[in-house]
A and B are shown apart, each in its own frame.
Chain A
Amino acid sequence: MSRAISVRGLAKRFGGLEALRGVDLEVEQGEFFALLGPNGAGKTTLISILAGLVRASAGEASIMGHDVVRDYRDARRKLGVVPQELVFDPFFTVRETLQFQSGYFGIKRNDDWIDALLHHLNLTDKADTNMRRLSGGMKRRVLVAQALVHRPPVIVLDEPTAGVDVELRQTLWQFIRELNGQGHTILLTTHYLEEAEELCERVAMLKAGRIVALDRTANLLRADAQRRVELRLSPSRLPAALQPRLAGEKNGAFLLNLNDYGELEGMLAEIRLAGVQIESFCVRQPDLEEVFLQTMRGQP
């Protein structure tokens, strides 16, 4: 079975600027994959090369086994891209926009699927509204619909939730999840790391055109970040035996490093021995944001 996305030795120079410096990436069919990285890391550049909007300076890329340059027509048929920029054609209505997009992909009558897309993206009552008259979040949803008119097996979303309100963000993810459940491969970029953590099985982190972390989300959360206990005591005095664990204090609570849940028992025993009361106690799981920040800090 061919890979959904395969990227080998991909590099891109814009004049003197190296936007990508040798990226290798494989995404399997059916995966839900996040591409993360700070502004300017090269995420959009990588996506643009997959979409054929940008030509690589070196290396190659393919979608479902089709090279994006040599075999561009098949590669593009298999790919749906939601661009990062909020673009629209002010001459047309929502429905016209989607009908044209279907036609560009060679699909003649697509009205049932267009209606389904409009419904899933809460756009049904805007179907005959001119694009100019939509709010930013609505335009973004039309872009999502446009990327899906040809039911592509591989769906790439470049910050699809920027400017979309909370409720619709949920609706959108539910829909994307459904598509993923039906076998579509999803690659997304986002700066909301909790979204990526919740949705994506695997994560790649990009910095200055290089991949600096690539693993299953669960592994990244396990491996990199420190789990901590947030502890409030009365009187607020930390037993000497726990001092080595102290990572910091926050609003009168102690933050203690916890490498393993097994250590909890010992900690509680020390507190009891010292004769202090526990006012509040919680274990803080490392989240992807923390892993992300650590990874980015750790890189040159």
Chain B
Amino acid sequence: MTGFLTLFRKEVLRFWKVLMQTVAAPVLTTLLYLLIFSHVLEAHVQVYPGVAYTAFLIPGLVMMAILQNAFANGSSSLIQSKISGNIVFFLLPPLSYLEFFLAYLLAAMVRGLIVGLGVAMSGLLFTDLAFAHPLWILAFALLASAVFACFGIIAGIWAEKFDQLAGVQNFIIMPLTFLSGVFYSIHSLPAFWQAVSHYNPVFYMIDGFRYGFHGVSDVDPWLSLAAILPIALILAGLTLQLLRSGYKLRH
């Protein structure tokens, strides 16, 4: 237990010490999206009746911030430790792979959620937000951050160079988040892209999350939950298996 707590604390402290870069910067970037898109589109777009575009946009942006930062935390921490070699500091002690997993998972979730909270609170300066179903908000925030935290840990274990990690970020994470309905409802897309979006797990994360705020969504939140939960379990299982086998960590 002490081992896990220490590793968790270390992982949180790692991003806490550089808050500017790990929290403030992503909050600011997301706010710029909010500023520009809401300014340009507020008068022209209404996705759900009675929901202003800015209010529609905010949950999507919050979710995007949660995902990207949950991914970034575990992946960048692991690759830095691997490349600098200080990963031996936690490979030498008797930490179990479960402790290792939980520490990295929770720390990455914490970072994602803090950035998400930062975006949400700044968003409140622009418009009023409804909190129709707080439990759904919480459920999707936790689940989605866990999925991308696992994803980040896997990428961090797998990658041997920073540019491999950047590749994952640019060619997988970015398209997944941008093609998921952060800025629009997928119902406004052509039929083909609408169908494609239904295979994007991030679509369900954002849609379910949005339901929590506005009480309306493209699909039933239970369906979204059913889509994400198995992915979370599979990724968690895979991460645990990689850590247990020592893949790319113990040669």
Q: Which residues of A contact B (CB under 8 A)?
A: 14, 48, 51-55, 72-74, 76-77, 79, 81, 83, 85, 87-92, 97, 100-108, 146, 150
Contact = CB atoms under 8 A, between A and B. Distances in A.
Given A55-B250, A89-B86, 9 more contacts: A52-B92, A53-B91, A74-B94, A89-B81, A91-B18, A100-B9, A103-B6, A104-B92, A104-B93
Contacts of B85: 83, 85, 87
Size range of the chain B interface in the assembly: 20 to 34
B86 A105 contact: no
Contacts of A100: 6, 9-10, 89
Given A104-B7, A108-B2, A52 B86 contact: no
19 contacts: A54-B250, A55-B246, A79-B92, A81-B92, A87-B85, A89-B81, A91-B14, A91-B17, A91-B18, A97-B89, A100-B89, A102-B6, A103-B3, A103-B6, A104-B7, A104-B90, A104-B92, A106-B94, A146-B89
A103 B5 CA distance: 8
A52 B7 contact: no
B44 interface: no
Contacts of B95: 104
Given A91-B13, A103-B6, A51 B94 contact: no
A105 B250 contact: no
B92 to A, nearest CB: 6
Contacts of A146: 89
A64 to B, nearest CB: 13
Interface string B1-35: 11101110110011001100000000000000000
Contacts of B5: 103
A101 B89 contact: yes
B6 A76 contact: no
Contact of B251 (A54, A81, A90): A54
Interface of B: 1-3, 5-7, 9-10, 13-14, 17-18, 81, 84-86, 88-96, 246, 250-251
A105 B91 contact: no
Contacts of B93: 76, 101, 104-105, 150
A77 B94 CA distance: 6
A70 to B, nearest CB: 13
Contacts of B94: 72-74, 76-77, 105-106
Contact of B92 (A14, A53, A74): A53
Nearest 8 Cβ contacts at the A-B interface: A103-B6, A104-B93, A87-B85, A73-B94, A76-B94, A87-B86, A106-B2, A89-B86
Contacts of A88: 84, 86
A85 B5 CA distance: 27
B251 A87 contact: no
B101 to A, nearest CB: 15
A239 B38 CA distance: 105
B27 to A, nearest CB: 21
A103 B81 CA distance: 18
B237 to A, nearest CB: 21
Nearest to B91: A53
A52 B90 CA distance: 11
A87 B88 contact: yes
Given A52-B91, A53-B91, A91-B17, A104 B250 contact: no
Nearest to B8: A103
B86 A76 contact: no
Contacts of B81: 89
A279 to B, nearest CB: 55
Contacts of B86: 87-89
A103 B251 contact: no
Contacts of A77: 94
Q: Among B3, B93, B96, which residue has the most Cβ atoms of chain A within 10 A?
A: B93
